Amino acid sequence: MKRKLYEVLKAWKGTPEKALLLRGPRQTGKTYLMKEFAKEYGSSLYLNLEDEPILRKIFEESRNTDEIYTSLSVLKGFSVPQDGPAPLLMIDEIQSSEAAFSALKPLAIDGRCNILASGSLLGVLLNEKLLSPMGYVKMVHVGPMDFEEFLWALGTEEQVTAGIRAMISKESMPESVRKSVDRAFRSYMMVGGMPAAVSAFASSGDYGEVWERQGEIIEFARADVMKYAPNSLKIRILACFDAIPRILAKGNKSFMYSEVEHLPGYGSREYDPALDWLIAVGLALRCRNLTQLAEPFAENESAKSFKIYLYDSGLLMRMYGREAAAAVASGDVYVNRGAVMESVTAQALVASGFGIRYYAKENSTRELDFVISYRGRITALEVKSGRQKHSKSLLMTLKEGGVKAAVKCADFKVETDENGVLHLPLFAPAFMGSDTDIVLDLPDISELNEMVRNADD
């Protein structure tokens, strides 16, 4: 299955001065990416530090890169050529060995191999002792497949998804196209972007098989908590993980600590470390409430008011159960008070490069589902109240000037209405793209030198 990150790997191959480290939750396709990318090389070696404990000993006992390569030659028959293109050395499950992680720096400096590593749960396992090679490591996050990658997996041509993106950009789309893509998007809401689930759906179309794969992934996530989380946090991490769907379905303005275990007096002190762990390893997304609609957003985020989303809409659907899945399959995308719709939108925005924030005014029913910087403007994005064409929160905020643009993602035709609200399809956030890239023109230094010399004369 094609992943957009493959192009990142190809670009890195041209300038591999640093080791490349793929990080992210388990089963998001890191190993698949590594092995596919190895086909770009004439020679490569794959190491899995979790499956083969003896490999961990190589890194623990070797004093330098020469000893590492000598041991790999003896154990794996891997030899590094004296000249010609550098081979690829892949080190998977690197979180299993502090010594292997620390070896990334000398291996990168050595330069005999291009070093590609991957690991899960690195967000919490990279303590100060492990941070030593960071100047020699480029990190890339691997998350679930986004909607465009999902379409590719189903056989949609890249030029077709490029056309969809262009239509979103031009704010014009034929109804026949919108309805067709929307049907696929409803499937994506249910299947999600975990490669095993997507592969099962693409190969058989059997949602029962998808259901099984999703259940396995959730159990793997729980097992990782029990294996890697601090003993003092394990129970609360699992409690928070299991509570996310339930809290989202209540439609509250922020995460409710009291709903996690229903224990009197338990709040941020007890649960914030557990939530931080889930977010650090990529199993959850935090969406902060803005205290005011102004940039820079980071300076206007509430420290106490936030929402927590699961990292994959398909897994969220699995945790809600078959009744919710049947509702979405029959067309009710706003099941559980729009929790799934909000979650898949948050997932799409993150995959598109946006930070996720929302705005819920104190002592008011007004709430904006998401607030983003889009095309250089503070933009409110509404997805929850989709059965009604007009949103009071959007209209009031536009009127007051709190935001400069408003987008309503719903099951309506693409248009800008009389109030200036842009109506886009439910799947639009997956194709919007962040505009945070900064382009700097290289200054003409020769011209500057000439001007200064002339001024001196």
| Mean pLDDT, rounded, for 269-282 | 95
Q: Is 265 left (phi over 0), alpha (psi -120 to 50) or beta?
A: left
The domains located in the chain, with CATH, are 5-141 (3.40.50.300), 147-432 (no CATH)
In the prediction, which pLDDT does 447 show? 63
In the prediction, which pLDDT does 456 show? 64
H-type alpha helices, 250-296: 258-261, 268-280
Average pLDDT, the chain: 90
CA proximity to 305, closest of 291, 294, 292, 289? 289
3-state per-residue secondary structure call for 99-118? HHHHCHHHHHHHCCCEEEEE
Structure tokens at 434: 């962040």
Name the percent of the chain lying above pLDDT 70: 91
In the prediction, which pLDDT does 440 show? 46
Say if residue 206's pLDDT is above 70: yes
In the prediction, which pLDDT does 435 show? 53
Say if residue 128's pLDDT is above 90: no
In the prediction, which pLDDT does 209 show? 97
Say if residue 14's pLDDT is above 90: no
d(CA 248, CA 339): 5
pLDDT in tens, 34-60: 999 999 999 999 999 999 999 999 999
Instruction: State pTM to two decimals.
Output: 0.90
pLDDT in tens, 396-454: 888 888 899 999 998 888 999 998 999 999 999 999 986 544 444 555 566 666 667 67
| Mean pLDDT, rounded, for 108-122 | 93
